Amino acid sequence: MTANRQTSWAFADAFVAEDDALHWARERAREAGLRSVSPGAGAALRLLAATVDAKAVAEIGTGTGVSGIHLLHGMRPDGVLTTVDPEPERQQFARQAFRAAGFASNRARFIPGRALDVLPRLADAGYDLVFCDGDRMECLDYLAESLRLLRPGGLVVFEGVFADGRTIDSGPQPAEVVRLRELLRAVRESQDLVPSLLPVGDGLLCAVKR
């Protein structure tokens, strides 16, 4: 990659400035050893939520609230984010971050638990966008659940599909990278989806449900 291209990518990643609430949430994630979406990926999530005029969004992987803040900024003022995470203490950080960002408590519904236990309880065709940032080994299951949860014209988004470049590396890879390759193939070949792969952050795989 040329230096000019690297500079351009860095400029694009920092194009949308982040506020104090996002910086606070990022610091909590760093302290907990968690990866957060990059500023560029967060800005893309904000744009995608606004593009579908999202009123109902489901998020797999609350973390400390970085992606949630971006999604809420893009959603309608009356929109509700349903966010699922197996670690309730992380969700407490996200609650604080959302409040610091100026969002009322009724804008987010926090559900602690394993995603594949929680998602089947959510309403069919009840969501405008599903954002998946959970266990990579479960990504194909997330895709199946997302197709059920999304309304026609809704968006599913997977974060981290580049896996720090390992997804396109020809050498032997761990099982989670193999699973990401299967996800990419499944989304690209699905007759029910209109896909795109965005080179922001560690890769955003996006698809519109027909």
Confidence of residue 3 (pLDDT cuts 50, 70, 90): confident
Tokens of residue 206, six digits: 């996006």
- Residue 1, pLDDT > 70, answer no
Do the bridges between strand 56-60 and strand 204-209 make them parallel or antiparallel, or are there none, so unpaired? unpaired
- Average pLDDT over every residue of 31-55: 96
10 Å CB burial of residue 124 (0-12, 13-18, 19+) is exposed
Q: What is the 3-state secondary structure (H, E, C) of 181-202?
A: HHHHHHHHHCCCEEEEEECCCC
In whole angstroms, how far apart are CA 158 and each of 1, 16, 18, 202?
24, 21, 21, 10
- Chain-centroid distance, C-alpha 105: 21
- Average pLDDT over every residue of 48-54: 98
Asked if residue 137 lies in contact with residue 176, where contact means CB atoms within 8 angstroms, the answer is yes
Rounded Cα–Cα distance for residues 181 and 136 (Å):
11
Per residue in 103-113, pLDDT (tens digit) is: 999 999 999 99
- Residue 63, pLDDT > 70, answer yes
Confidence of residue 50 (pLDDT cuts 50, 70, 90): very high
Per residue in 117-162, pLDDT (tens digit) is: 999 999 999 999 999 999 999 999 999 999 999 999 999 999 999 9
pLDDT of residue 14: 84
Could you tell me what percent of the chain has a pLDDT over 70?
100
User: Of the candidates 71, 73, 108, which has an alpha carbon nearest to the alpha carbon of residue 204?
Assistant: 71
Q: What is the mean pLDDT of the chain?
A: 95
- Average pLDDT over every residue of 9-15: 85
Per residue in 72-99, pLDDT (tens digit) is: 999 999 999 999 999 999 999 999 999 9
pLDDT of residue 139: 98
Rounded Cα–Cα distance for residues 107 and 196 (Å):
29
- Residue 164, pLDDT > 70, answer yes
- Residue 57, pLDDT > 90, answer yes
